Structure formats: C-alpha cells, structure tokens
Amino acid sequence: MALLPIAEAQARLLALAGRTPVEMVPLAEAVGRWAAEPIAARRTQPENDLSAMDGYAIRFADLPGPWIVIGESAAGKGFAGTMAPGEAVRIFTGAPMPAGADTVLVQEEAARDGDRLSLAGEGPAYLGRNVRRRGLDFAAGDGLIAAGERLTPALIALAAIAGHATLPVHRKVRVAIVATGDELVAPGAAMGHAQIPESNRIMLAAQLADLPIEIIDLGILPDNLGALTRAFAEVQADLLITSGGASVGDHDLVRPALEGAGARIDFWRIALRPGKPMMAGRRGDMVVLGLPGNPVSVFVTALLFAKPLIAHRSGAADPLPVHRTAILGEPLPANGPRTDYLRAALIDGKVHASAIQDSSMLRTLARSTCLIVRLPHAPAAKTSDSVEILDIA
C-alpha cells in the first residue's frame, strides 16, 4: 500500500466533517474560539470628538488667546453649553469636546488666573491638535471580525466596545481520548513485569488544551478485540482519538475494532516520520483518529492532524499549522521517502536537531522547542542553510 502524502492526508481528514453547530456565548467565554459569522460594529467609536490630553478646549482661530474659562468637560460628563469666540473649557483626557471647540491646548502650555486663560508655550500647531475625531477607531456597520478569525483578547475587547455582549461561535468539539495496550498502567500506579506508565492521554489533553474542546477520557483499554469494539461502539463524541494498536502486529487491534464498531476507515499509513501508522475514518458523525503508540509519534500526529481537525470543526479559516524558516546550526544528512519531523531547539538564533530521534524518547521531545521539517528525498543540508520548522514551545 502506497503511503499517503501529508498534505493529501490533511485535506482528506478535514473533508470528513464540517463545523459544529453555532451558538452564542458571552464575551468572556469566546476568547480562543473562532468567529462563526462576520462581526460588525453596532456603534461608532468614539461617538463624539474627544480630547486626547488634559488641558483646555479652544477655537484654533482664537490663538494666541487670551480666553475666558466658562466650564469643564470630564469623561462621562461633558460640557452642556456652546463655546463662543474667546471662550475655553477645562477638559480632561477622554472627555467630549464642547460644541464650538476644535482644538485642545495642553495644560503644560497654559497659564490660568481665575477664569482667565493665557498661552504659556508654543500652543497647538494645527487645527484639531490633541482631538480624537468621532469614528477615529470605527463607525457603526464597519466589519471588525471576519468569520473564521480566532478571537484573541484584543478582538474580544474590540467586540465589547463595538456594542456586543455575546458572539457567535461553534460549539466546543467533544473529544474522546483512549490509550490501548496491555502494557500500560496509570501514572503512579504499581507496575508489573514489562509494564510502563501511560503518558499519551495526559499529553494529548495538554496539547489540545488551547482549543475549544470538551475531553471525554475513556482511560486505558486492553488489547482485547471485544472490549475495544464495545468501547468504540458506545462512545458519543465529535472526535475519537486512540493511541497505540494502529500498526499491523498481532496485538494491533484498533483498526478491526473500529470497523467492528461501524467505522469506515478513510486512509491509513502516512508518508511521515514519526507517525506512519496513523489512520482516520468516521463512525456516523464522529471522526476517528488512530494514532501510533510511541509518544513522539502521538505528539507529531496530533500536531499535524488532531489539532487542525479540531480547529476546522471549530470554524477556523486556516486550521493547518504554519511553518517558518530558521538557519541550521549543523549539517543534516539527506532524507528518505517520508517527510521527517526532527526534534530540535533554537539556540543563539540557529536551529539544532537532537542527536537521537527515536520516537519513544519523551525527554528529547520535552527539551525541544521546534520540529525541523525535512521533505521527502531532501538533499543533505549544510550548516547555515535555511530550513522549515514548526514551533512547539
């Protein structure tokens, strides 16, 4: 069976399912999610001309003064009257400009004696100096947030000041996670001969934590076809992620168990290192991802497939991870027929691949800050060559 290129596998995976349903959520719950619809301003900001400085509202044509101070304008409580020529109003940052005023004389350049105001510096250089004009930020009806744009803290603040208390987003993705293998025990539990602590579920949950998800932890399941089939048939989720049992050995039972539970496998085996045995398919509306068992393979396949799928289902316009370039700190050999993701770290501005790339070594992964991406059949690379990387820390 030919190995599937990564880009084709990603495209086929995203095509397996659409977005989750749309819901309206309060602003505080929308951060980190993706806008399900375009968001337009419901008001103009600022709604009035405002002072950008503490000082005095004047008419530019009245320079160089003097003026008579007739009142005060503060934020939230403007001056109610209209200024006549030769008059000024004490004003504070963020306060509305009085009718008749067009410029602010900053207080450092003003001298006041009772109600009499005179110029004590150079004064404003042009009409409108130190004034924030109505609609400087945006006007009512302006498009502010595009559908598919991730809602950052700044965008949440923008939506708030634009008059929104809630935003349309896609429902959180329900993600069921299970580890398979007779050799696995819970972290910290007593271990028998040839057993090891299970680490993939906690790593996956942490790796996906920045996404809008609800985790369903199915625990550790044994290498038993009946037990696996029953569990896969009963789970109700948008996405089922398994780790382990995805290869072709006698104890690799995930594929037959998924098929026994009614899933249709769409593809299996990727031109990827580490992570070649990954599989993907559907059972009804639930997408299933069968990841390998080695921890580094789980991390890489989750980065390339699970996270983009969740982002896609959550409404992301651009769900795939973004590569950037870095300069090699030492040479790399020519690559083979699969895309290789090498654990690496950026040190003094250059990227250095770890000496050992065994997919079972979590310590190496934990000390890496990025993955060097080596395309199939890439030629040997020299020190100071530019390479593609994916940031992971």
Percent of the chain with pLDDT over 70: 98
Residue 337 has pLDDT above 60, yes or no: yes
- Rounded to the nearest 5 degrees, what angle is found at the Cα of 21, between the Cα atoms of 320 and 288? 55
Do 105 and 209 fall into the same domain?
Answer: no
The pLDDT of 262-273, averaged and rounded, is: 96
Residue 200 within any structural domain of the chain: yes
SS3 109: helix
How many CA atoms lie less than 13 Å away from 179 in the CB half-sphere? 23
Do 191 and 268 fall into the same domain?
Answer: yes
Do 295 and 383 fall into the same domain?
Answer: no
Do 35 and 166 fall into the same domain?
Answer: yes
Of 271, 292, 313, which marks where a domain is finished? 313
Classify residue 64 as exposed, middle or buried by CB count within 10 Å of its CB (0-12, 13-18, 19+): exposed
Do 242 and 334 fall into the same domain?
Answer: no
Residue 146 within any structural domain of the chain: yes
CATH number for the domain spanning 369: value is 2.40.340.10
Q: What is the number of structural domains in the chain?
A: 4
Do 235 and 350 fall into the same domain?
Answer: no
* Residues with Cβ within 8 Å of residue 67, at least 6 apart in sequence: 56, 58, 86, 87, 88, 116, 117, 118
Beta strands across the sheet bearing 110-113: 103-106, 55-58, 87-91, 67-73, 116-119, 110-113
Residue-level pLDDT at 251: 62
Q: Nearest CA to 321 among 1, 3, 95, 6? A: 6
Range of the domain at 156: 24-43+138-170
Residue-level pLDDT at 194: 87
Do 58 and 73 fall into the same domain?
Answer: yes
How many CA atoms lie less than 13 Å away from 139 in the CB half-sphere? 3
Residue 299 within any structural domain of the chain: yes
Residue 250 has pLDDT above 70, yes or no: no
Residue-level pLDDT at 246: 74
Do 244 and 303 fall into the same domain?
Answer: yes
Q: In sequence order, which ranges of the chain are alpha helices (DSSP H)?
A: 6-14, 27-30, 153-161, 200-207, 225-234, 254-260, 295-301, 307-313, 362-366
Residue-level pLDDT at 83: 96
Mean per-residue pLDDT over the chain, rounded: 96
pLDDT in tens, 355-376: 999 998 999 999 999 999 999 9
Q: Nearest CA to 56 among 126, 107, 16, 11? A: 107
CA distance 316 to 308: 9
Residue 318 within any structural domain of the chain: no
Do 274 and 214 fall into the same domain?
Answer: yes
Cα dihedral sign, 52-57-59-64: negative
Q: β-strand 386-391 against 350-353: which pairing, if any?
A: unpaired
Do 89 and 199 fall into the same domain?
Answer: no
Q: Which structure tokens are listed for 76? A: 């939230």
Of 132, 157, 182, which marks where a domain is finished? 132
Backbone angles phi, psi at 6, to 5 degrees: -60, -45
Is 342:369 a contact under the CB 8 Å cutoff? no
For 71, left (φ over 0), alpha (ψ -120 to 50), or beta?
Answer: left
Of 286, 313, 340, which marks where a domain is finished? 313
CATH number for the domain spanning 60: value is 2.170.190.11
Residue 149 within any structural domain of the chain: yes
pLDDT in tens, 172-227: 999 999 999 999 999 999 988 889 999 999 999 999 999 999 999 999 999 999 99
Do 35 and 99 fall into the same domain?
Answer: no
Residue 319 within any structural domain of the chain: no
Do 118 and 244 fall into the same domain?
Answer: no
CATH number for the domain spanning 246: value is 3.40.980.10
The pLDDT of 162-178, averaged and rounded, is: 98
pLDDT in tens, 116-142: 999 999 999 999 999 999 999 999 999
Residue 199 within any structural domain of the chain: yes
Residue 1 within any structural domain of the chain: no
Beta strands in 30-102 (DSSP E): 39-40, 50-51, 55-58, 67-73, 87-91
pLDDT in tens, 23-70: 999 999 999 999 999 999 999 999 999 999 999 999 999 999 999 999
Beta bridge pairs of residue 374: 340
